[in-house]
């Protein structure tokens, strides 16, 4: 079969591979475009394997939602440049939707979920690696499946939040998700703060006090310490923080005024907890030149 330019173009658009690779794939497979695509896929998988040990600390958080079902998926790349590539963005959006549709609860389960193309997420990931030339990893999945009001919010592709609210409306839930993205409260309410944390903060506050203050009556000293601890607890809880959309009120005041209650939330930040490799290119060049 003749390998025409239009056939090469079609295979290139379908696979994202280079022109010469597409021509070779078609030649090797007697012009059968499906077989050629599979041939390229196998070649792509080999390339992907070679990149598998590269650190992926950049990337994107993508969200998908349908009513009370919502998911966040963190997908990592090696560089911010690829994270902003339209192909990578399309891939992450498709994976998030696949996570929502499949009910996958973690990254491992998500690998076998199907995309509209018929590919599994893992097959599509390998193809994206071959196309964009960087290692990519599907790192984390967060999900909520509830009869309550749910919001999914992503800020700048790097911070994703899911929040579940009993009562209230979608506007409140989205506002709370934006607040959580901005302020990163470690806990929801004061009752969620570990007793060990409170005890340690009391110890620290007491150590910081002057001898004069320490000599005050026990009940006064307790009031002083309690005031300081309450302030600290407010800083580390969603309910205690000033609401970003109305700083004259706390989140608790806003939520209660709406007759609502925050059941819980999840927050993902791209690359958090991953140790980035800092390359010293000058040292590497000197080493290669035998000067170091």
pLDDT of residue 93: 97
pLDDT of residue 52: 55
Number of Cβ within a 10 Å radius of residue 280: 9
Tell whether pTM > 0.85: no
Tell me the chain's radius of gyration from C-alpha atoms: 26
Q: Which residues in the chain land under pLDDT 70?
A: 14-17, 41-56, 275-292
DSSP at 266 = E
Q: Which two tokens stand for residue 88?
A: 């990578």
Kindly provide the residue ranges of all beta strands, DSSP E only, lying in the chain, ordered along the sequence.
58-66, 69-77, 136-145, 149-155, 159-166, 242-243, 246-250, 261-269
Question: CB–CB of 52/135 below 8 Å?
Answer: yes
Question: CB–CB of 140/268 below 8 Å?
Answer: yes
pLDDT of residue 49: 46
Residues sharing a CB contact under 8 Å with residue 265, sequence separation 6 or more, in sequence order: 161, 162, 163, 164, 176, 177, 180, 188, 238
Question: CB–CB of 225/205 below 8 Å?
Answer: yes
Q: What is the DSSP string of 118-179?
A: S-BHHHHHHHHHHHH-S-EEEEEEEEEE-SSEEEEEEETTTEEEEEEEESS-HHHHHHHHHH
Phi/psi at 164 (nearest 5 deg)? -115, 125
pLDDT of residue 276: 62
Indicate if the alpha-carbon torsion angle 9, 10, 12, 16 is positive or negative. positive
Which residues are paired to 250 by β-bridges?
242
Question: CB–CB of 125/149 below 8 Å?
Answer: no
Alpha-carbon span 259 to 252, nearest angstrom: 11
pLDDT of residue 191: 95
Alpha-carbon span 45 to 23, nearest angstrom: 19
Query: If 0-12 CB within 10 Å is exposed, 13-18 middle and 19+ buried, where does residue 197 land?
Result: middle
């Amino acid at each position: 079969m003749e390998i025409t330019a239009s056939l090469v173009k079609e295979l290139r658009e379908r696979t994202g591979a280079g022109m010469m690779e597409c021509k070779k794939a078609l030649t090797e497979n007697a012009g059968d475009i499906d077989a050629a695509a599979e041939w390229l896929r196998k070649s792509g998988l080999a390339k992907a394997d070679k990149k598998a040990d590269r650190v992926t600390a950049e990337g994107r958080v993508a969200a998908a939602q349908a009513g009370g079902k919502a998911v966040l998926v963190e997908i990592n790349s090696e560089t911010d440049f690829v994270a902003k590539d339209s192909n990578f963005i399309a891939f992450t959006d498709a994976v998030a939707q696949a996570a929502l549709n499949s009910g996958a609860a973690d990254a491992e389960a998500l690998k076998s979920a199907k995309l509209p193309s018929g590919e599994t997420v893992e097959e599509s990931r390998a193809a994206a690696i071959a196309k964009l030339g960087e290692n990519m990893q599907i790192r984390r999945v967060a999900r909520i499946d509830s009869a309550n009001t749910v919001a999914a919010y992503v800020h700048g592709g790097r911070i994703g939040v899911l929040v579940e609210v009993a009562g209230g409306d979608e506007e409140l839930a989205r506002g709370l998700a934006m607040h959580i993205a901005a302020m990163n409260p470690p806990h929801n309410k004061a009752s969620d703060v570990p007793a060990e944390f409170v005890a340690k903060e009391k110890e620290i506050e007491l150590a910081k006090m002057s001898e004069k203050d320490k000599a005050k009556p026990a009940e006064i000293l307790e009031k002083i310490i309690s005031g300081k601890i309450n302030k600290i607890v407010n800083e580390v809880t969603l309910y205690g923080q000033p609401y970003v959309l109305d700083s004259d009120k706390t989140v608790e005041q806003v939520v209660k005024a709406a007759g609502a209650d925050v059941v819980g939330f999840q927050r993902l930040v791209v690359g958090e907890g991953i140790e980035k490799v800092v390359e010293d290119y000058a040292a590497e060049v000197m080493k290669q030149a035998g000067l170091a």
